[in-house]
A and B are shown apart, each in its own frame.
Chain A
Amino acid sequence: MLATQNKESNAPASSGRRLWAWLNRRTGLDTVLETALYEPIPGGARLAYVFGSALLFIFISQVITGVFLALYYVPSADHAHTTVAYITKAVTAGSFLRSLHAYGSSAMVVVLFLHLSQTYIYGAYKGRRELLWLSGCVLFALILGMAFTGYLLPWDQRSYFATAVGTNAASEIPWTGESLKRLMRGGTEMGTLTISRFFVAHVFLIPACIFALMASHIFLFRKAGAAGPINENPFEPKLKPELFYPRQVLMDLSLTSLLIVGLGVLCFFVPMQLGPPANPADTQYVPRPEWYYLPVFQWLKYWHGAASVIGILIIPTVLALAVIALPFLDRSIERRPWKRPIAMGAYAFVLFVLVGLGLRSQYLDKHDAGIAQQLVKQENEQDEFMRKPFQPELSSASLAAANVALADPLAAKGKTIFEAQSCNACHGDAGVGTAAAPALVGIATKFPPEQLTSLLKHPSSKMTAGGMPPVDLPPDDLKALITYVESLK
């Protein structure tokens, strides 16, 4: 810092450099950048180390696209689908941004898996990295939680039924399952409270936890130091270090840019589809989760009744605990994969089971004529919905007005009388009220029909003072008028 200042005072510095020097004196940015960029990597920069940075960048992309999508999205069962359709079909670049966000979640899962695999295969969790690994495990769960909660938000057939299956699976957990399901759904059934809950989790709770965990993950990573290649000692690095900047930064950014541009190209040419709005009464719909949940989906099919305790509670818990406890269980400093047959065998086995379950699920769908046919039908319905232009949602007030006219001929007649008698002159159209007279909306809760009839015939002194004349109509017409006025909501 001091050297920089002296150098600057001797040479005529450009205004840009002077500004930078001033910023530096005030903020100490130089030190921050130095700490960030001059991290030693034992054994030098490698392409294998890019996944952590890539995850960070995709997460930032998810945050940005997510915030922008919230400009138009409304989390409620009656508006969610319309607003997503609006984003997809009407808003400029809406389809692209939504696709970027949706495919981004898949990309996140893929890169997360690569990051985890690299750490595992390289034995990079070894030596004073227990907390780093633990925070990574929590981040893993949080990111899967983001994918699960975000999937429901468009509220189309696919997302509705997939989430119905997902939340149903929770109820299979012995003892607490049913309560857990109700807690997630905000009730026994999926509905508008489910959207609110998923939205809050997706937009506030989980991201907040991810920010905090990511910060601690990076902090713990810097504290422990980069693990380096497989022949490096995880406690005391011996290989010649290379600084993070510039080569590793270059690799990280190049690969991330490539990934994001690749996603962009995909979104441009194969945008994410939106299906018809969720119809809980559709009994034929065959729900299928997003590809990365297929293995879990298939796994759950095998466990029912009493055995479900084993398949849904015990096995996943043991597996999760084994993963979490890995750095505590595996204390050797040996990092070369061929010298760690148990660890590598377990990895290969889990991978094999996951891929196998996923493929099995696909295979079963293809070879069950009924399901295959229904899945094609669902695909076609989705294409058909995408071809239709955007239809604005009719506001509830308009619907209520239309419904009154349609539902009850007596109320419809009453509406004609209401207008012919100029009641709407003072009480407003559809009884919304004006400066001259109060609103009649919801009057049914205050006055039952008999009392209202008598009030119309003989207005109270307060009403008369306000200019309300007595209503003189044949009994049938008066009944129709009362029916209409009582229907105003």
Chain B
Amino acid sequence: MCAYAGGSGATAEKSSAPGLSLQNRRSFLGALLGVGSTFVGALLSVPLIRFALFPLLRRTTELKSSPVGAISDFSPLTEPAMRTIQIEHVDGWRKAISEKAVYITKDQQGQLRVLTSVCPHLGCTVPWNKEKNQFICPCHGATFTPDGSRISGPSQRGMDTLETSVQDGQLLVRFQYFRQLVSGKEVIG
């Protein structure tokens, strides 16, 4: 792009510089050349600009929503249920597929909520403890209620909820990582 613009610019200079001391005919030809090459240069720089600005025009990275299961499966839920989801992360021309455990649970109002299993303290995977009816992190003992609220331990906040959506009766979740060791929920990356 730049060099094309530069090329046409140079031509424009060619035309105006000697034009100062030359006849009108030459100035006219010079101007014609300048305008012509600027036009061709500009025309050719359009695809170059579009090519370079592609990440502004389209999404080049994308975290796709992952299906968790049919929403009807979760209505009789009495305690958090663990599901392993496949996360597809598109990064330009490549994609990474990883697996991650999430918990489907209900909030105080009985609405479905999906929690990440990553502990907001230091990132360990938090298992559900059925006997104690709590989430208990095996690393440093942070505990959380069935809906993910903080009870005790080193974590400064409750377990993180994930963005959900419903499509054709399927519960979809958008998996994200959040900053650890802080009291507020802050998306990383």
Contact = CB atoms under 8 A, between A and B. Distances in A.
Interface of A: 3-4, 17, 20, 29-30, 33-34, 36-38, 57, 60-61, 63-65, 68, 71-72, 79, 82-83, 85-86, 90-94, 96-97, 100, 245-246, 249-250, 253-254, 257, 260-261, 264, 390, 392-395, 397-398, 401-402, 419, 422, 424-426, 428-430, 434-437, 467
A245 B137 CA distance: 80
A245 B18 contact: yes
Interface stretch (B44-52, B67-75, B145-153, B160-168): B44-52
Given A246-B26, A436-B123, A402 B97 contact: yes
Contact of A425 (B36, B95, B126): B126
B7 interface: yes
B51 A392 contact: no
Interface string B30-50: 101100110010011011101
7 contacts: A29-B13, A36-B14, A72-B93, A392-B93, A392-B95, A393-B95, A429-B99
Interface of B: 1, 3-4, 7, 11, 13-14, 16-18, 20-21, 26, 29-30, 32-33, 36-37, 40, 43-44, 46-48, 50-54, 57-58, 84, 90-101, 119, 122-127, 137-140, 180
B89 to A, nearest CB: 9
A242 to B, nearest CB: 13
A71 B48 CA distance: 11
The residue in A20, A82, A83, A246 that gathers the most chain B C-beta atoms within 10 A of its C-beta is: A246
A9 to B, nearest CB: 14
Contacts of A29: 13, 17
Given A33-B18, A467-B139, A394 B124 contact: no
A92 B93 contact: no
Nearest to A34: B18
B51 A91 contact: yes
Contact of B123 (A3, A393, A434): A434
A264 B48 CA distance: 12
A435 B123 contact: yes
A430 to B, nearest CB: 8
Contacts of A394: 94-97
A260 B138 contact: no
Contact of A97 (B20, B47, B98, B127): B47
A253 B7 CA distance: 11
